[in-house]
Amino acid sequence: MNNHFRTECFPAIEPYDSGMLSLDETHTMYWEQSGNAQGIPVVFLHGGPGAGASPSHRRFFDPDHYRIIIYDQRGAGRSTPLGEIHNNTTPHLINDLEVLRQYLNIEKWLVFGGSWGSTLALAYGETHPERCLGFILRGIFLCRKREIDWFLYGLRHFFPEAWREFVAPLSATEQEQLLYAYYQRLMHPDPAVHMPAARAWSRYEGACSTLLPNPEIMQHFSDDTVALGLARMEAHYFSHNIFLPENYLLEQVQTLHEIPATIVQGRYDAVCPIISADDLHQAWPQAEYIIVDQAGHSAWEPGIQAELIRATEKFKTRLSI
């Protein structure tokens, strides 16, 4: 099981460089670099869409070895405007990664992403495989219609209390069209309308993200910046089927077959059930596939965290520029 590899988070560090990068007339992207400026570049793709990145995400990577690039996708976190859906599509996000890569003068980078971050990593890699040194993917989400329906309705089979709380603000008729009903509230200009909806959506996802109840995770998902970015972006992207054809990511994955990859999946991931990771591995058998038996969805599940850090450690010896 490669037990000689480190499995604990690295110590907290501060960025050596950060800034705001103008993307268009509407959007400005927050970005930062930490670790070794001469090291292997690795880019962290946060989940959601819309969840934003945090300082703790730097700790997956050895700062002596990696040049750690973390950023907030348009509409999320410290990027502005928060929750903005105008000019916000998967092709925009793919292009933003290229804008950032070129701005930082990086030829190729390791791509690390979980949940929606795995979706975006695949979409980016399939568009620009020549720019990818490798992939570390967690909690696979292929954003197919049945996966979106599962998130909205299927989760009640495992988390009925959380689902009841999620749908409580809605009428019985609206509960039959959850995505539409929430979309209307989340896009309402009045914070008195959109913020309660955003908090309810985000807390629902947080409550379903771990194998066992986790107050720290719930506190994170209850933060208003996280809640608004996450809920608005997810409702927007889900309403438009992530702006890609159904099953597109699986059908194009052969373009990545020659690039090293590790897939880490929680056996009891309720948010992004393991069938999607299994489908991905069947289509990408060259990728290393690790199932963590005692884990749900979150990257901070102890077993998942350990495997992600083990993967970044193994990639230190797998990669050369």
Helix residue spans in the chain (DSSP H): 90-103, 116-127, 145-152, 160-167, 172-175, 178-186, 191-207, 215-222, 224-239, 248-251, 274-283, 302-318
Q: How many CB atoms lie within 10 A of CB 110?
A: 25
Tokens of 305: 């965290």
Query: Which one of the listed residues 27, 57, 281, 297 is annotated catalytic?
Result: 297
Q: How far is CA 299 from CA 47, 82, 222, 279, in A?
A: 10, 23, 17, 20
Contact 268, 296 (CB under 8 A): yes
**Beta strand 109-114 with 40-45: parallel, antiparallel or unpaired?**
parallel
Tokens of 265: 């999946």
Query: Strands across the sheet with 66-71, in order?
Result: 17-22, 28-35, 66-71, 40-45, 109-114, 132-138, 261-266, 288-292
Annotated active-site residue 157? The verdict is: no
Annotated active-site residue 115? The verdict is: yes
- What is the maximum alpha-carbon separation in the chain? 57
Nearest to residue 126, comparing CAs of 258, 230, 20? 258
Query: Which one of the listed residues 269, 276, 281, 298 is annotated catalytic?
Result: 269
Annotated active-site residue 236? The verdict is: no
Tokens of 176: 């039959």
Query: Which one of the listed residues 34, 115, 209, 276 is annotated catalytic?
Result: 115
Nearest to residue 229, comparing CAs of 79, 44, 30? 79
- Tell me the catalytic residues: 115, 269, 297
